[in-house]
Amino acid sequence: MGFFLTIEGVEGAGKTTAKAVVLRWLQECGHEFIATREPGGTPLAEQLRALVLGEHEEQVSDTTELLLMFAARSQNLSERIEPSLAAGKVVVCDRFTDATYAYQSGGRGIDEQRIAVLEQLVQGDRRPDMTLLLDVAPEVGLARARGRATAEGGELDRIEQEAIEFFHRVRSVYLQRAARFADQYVVIDASQSVANVEQQIVGALQARLG
Ligand code: T5A
Label residue 131 left, alpha or beta by phi (over 0 means left) and psi (-120 to 50 means alpha): beta
CA of 18 relative to ligand 1 center, distance in Å: 10
Mutate to test the pocket of ligand 1, among 7, 23, 144 (most ligand atoms within 8 A of CB): 144
Q: What are the C-alpha distances in Å from 5 to residues 26, 43, 98, 177, 195? A: 12, 21, 12, 16, 21
**Cα dihedral sign for 178, 182, 184, 185?**
positive
- pLDDT number for residue 124: 98
- pLDDT number for residue 157: 87
- pLDDT number for residue 156: 84
Q: Is 159 in the pocket of ligand 1 (CB under 6 A)?
A: yes
Reduced to 3 states (helix: H, G, I; strand: E, B; else coil), residue 124 is coil
Q: Is 12 in the pocket of ligand 1 (CB under 6 A)?
A: yes
pLDDT along the chain (210 residues), means of 10: 96 96 98 98 98 95 98 98 98 98 98 98 98 98 91 87 95 98 98 97 96
Q: pTM score > 0.85 for this model?
A: yes
CA of 46 relative to ligand 1 center, distance in Å: 16
Mutate to test the pocket of ligand 1, among 15, 53, 93 (most ligand atoms within 8 A of CB): 15
**Cα dihedral sign for 148, 154, 159, 165?**
positive
